[in-house]
Amino acid sequence: MLNSEEIDIPCPECGHEASKTVDWVKANDELSCRRCGSVINLENERPFLIIAHVTRRIAKLRRSLAKFRNNPRGGAKKRR
């Protein structure tokens, strides 16, 4: 389920972000930045990248649930 999710990997040199799947990040130790050519070492960053991704997804889910709780009918107006 999570393995096909995309993770944004920022380059520490120029800030450019590359999107890769969790599977790809697990299987690779390095990534070359397309903008500046810098080599990003994923071996030490892998757990942090995945945790950051999951944290963003949970926050998005919480926002969606809050909207649903505030309006459980999905935007339907109350009838009088």
> What is the reported pLDDT for 31?
95
- For residue 32, is it within any domain? yes
- According to DSSP, residue 78 is labeled P
Spatial separation of the C-alpha atoms in residues 70 and 24, rounded to whole Å: 38
H helices then E strands: how many in the chain? 2, 4
> What is the reported pLDDT for 53?
81
Three-class SS state of 69: helix
- For residue 38, is it within any domain? yes
- 8-51 pLDDT, tens digit per residue, is 899 999 999 999 998 898 899 999 999 999 999 988 887 788 88
Give the structural domain span for 63: 6-68
pTM (two decimals)? 0.62
- For residue 73, is it within any domain? no
Q: Which residues contact 31 (CB under 8 A, 6 or more apart)?
A: 9, 18, 20, 39, 40, 42
